[in-house]
Structure 1
Amino acid sequence: MDHAGLGRVGTEERVRSVLLSAEDISRSLRRISHEILERNSNALEDLALIGVLTRGVPLARRIAANLRVFEGLDVPVGSLDITLHRDDLDGAEPEVGASDVPFSVAGKTVVLVDDVFYTGRTARAAMDALLELGRPAAVRLAILVDRGHRELPIRADHVGKNAPTALEERVIVSLQETDGEDGVVIVGR
C-alpha cells in the first residue's frame, strides 16, 4: 500500500502501522462471506446486504460478489445513509447522502456492512435507519475492522480483523472504489 488514498490523515498524525493490505482485506471478506453463508444456510433466499455509506457499500458489494462465486447466489445489495439518525450531530447542517435500498427488507435477514466498528453508535444509527424501511426477520452486522471502545452494548456478528487501538488513534480504511487503493492503517499523533 503506497498510502496514496490516505488524504484523510491529519497533518499532525502519522501512520503507526499497516493493519490490512489489499490481500488481507480480500481474505477477510472471503471469510466473512463464508460465515454469512454458514449462519444463514437454511434461508439464503431471504438474505440481503446493506452497506453503510460510504465504505460499507463497496464492502457489501464485494461480499455479494463472493456469495455469487461461492454459491451462485444473487443477494440484493443496498446502501444506507445514517446521517439523520446519528446522535452526535453538532447543530451544523449535516451532509446527507442518498440511501438506495431497492428491495423490501420485510422478513429478510439483513446484514449491515460497515468498515470500522468503534463505539457502536454508527451501528445503532444504521439499525434505526433500517427499521424505518420495514421489519426484517433478523439484522446482523459485518465489519471489516473492530477497534474496540464500545459505548453501546452492540457487537458484530462477522469481523474481518479485531484491532485493539488507543483512544487517540484512528483507523483509516482505503478502498479501491472510494480511494483508489485497498488498505487499512492505524494513525495517531
Structure 2
Amino acid sequence: MAKSKTIGSAEIHAAIDRMAAAITARHGRDAKLILLGIANGGVALAHRLTRKIPHAQTGTLDISFHRDDIGRNPIPKEFKPTLLPCDVNGATVVLVDDVLFSGRTVKAALDELFDHGRPATVELAVLVDRGGRRLPVAAGYTGLTFPAGDGEKVVVVIDGKNPASDHIRIAPKPKR
C-alpha cells in the first residue's frame, strides 16, 4: 500500500454490531460471559461490545509483564491494570483486541488470564484482522479483514465519548 486508507465510523459500527450479534448467537444469555479487553487497544472495544450484549460482564487484561518483547519495549508509564469483573474459573471468556497481527499479544493475554484462573472456554474477538500471523492464533469473531504488510501500520481509534469520530487508519510505517 503506497498511501493511507481510512475506514470511517459507519463501517466500524456495522462491524461491531456483527461481532456482538455473533457472540450473542453463540452464547445466548450465558450467565458467566466475560468480555476482557486487552489493554490498551481492546478496552474501548470490549466496552462497546458489552453495551450491545448487556448480560456480558466487562474487564481489562494488562499484558505488560507477559510480553515477549519486554526488553525492547519497556512497560509503559501509564497502563490499565488487570481488572476482572468476577472469578474467571468456569466462565466463558472472550478476549477482545483492536488488531490481530502476529498473535503475540494474544499469547501474552492467555498467559495473564490463566494467572487468574481457569475459564471453561476462551475465545478471541478482534475488530481488524490484518494477517501476518507468526503464531497459530485465529479469531472466532472478526469485524473487518484488511491484509496489511509488515511495512504498514493499522491504527484503530474507538472514542468512548464520541463514536462518530471512530476510525481506522492503514498507512505506511514511518521510515526510521
Give the paired residue count.
169
Q: Are residue 76 (structure 1) and residue 51 (structure 2) matched?
A: no
Select which of 87, 95, 98 maps to 1:112: 95
TM-score by length of 2: 0.89
- Measured in 2, the distance between the counterparts of 1:125 and 1:44 equals 26
RMSD between aligned residues: 1.9
Q: Are residue 86 (structure 1) and residue 58 (structure 2) matched?
A: no
Select which of 146, 150, 154 maps to 2:133: 150
Runs of 4+ in structure 1 deviating by more than 6 angstroms, as ranges, are none
Preserved CA contact (<8 Å) 1:15 1:185:
no
Query: For residues 109-168 of structure 1, what are the alpha-carbon distances to aligned partners after superposition, in whole Å with 9 as ceiling and x for unaligned?
Result: 100000000000000100110011100000000000000000000100000011111110
Preserved CA contact (<8 Å) 2:101 2:131:
yes
Tell me: CA distance 1:153–1:23, structure 2 relative to 1, closer, same or farther (3 Å). same
Q: Give the fraction of aligned pairs with identical amino acids, expressed as a percent.
A: 36
TM-score by length of 1: 0.83
Question: 1:56 aligns to what SS in structure 2?
Answer: helix
Shift of 1:177: 2.8
Q: Are residue 49 (structure 1) and residue 30 (structure 2) matched?
A: no
Unmatched runs of 5 consecutive residues or more in structure 2: none
Unmatched runs of 5 consecutive residues or more in structure 1: 1-13, 69-73
Paired residue type of 1:85: H
Q: Which residue of 1 aligns with 2:21?
A: 34
Question: 1:89 aligns to what SS in structure 2?
Answer: coil
| Residues 74-83 or 171-180, more deviating | 171-180
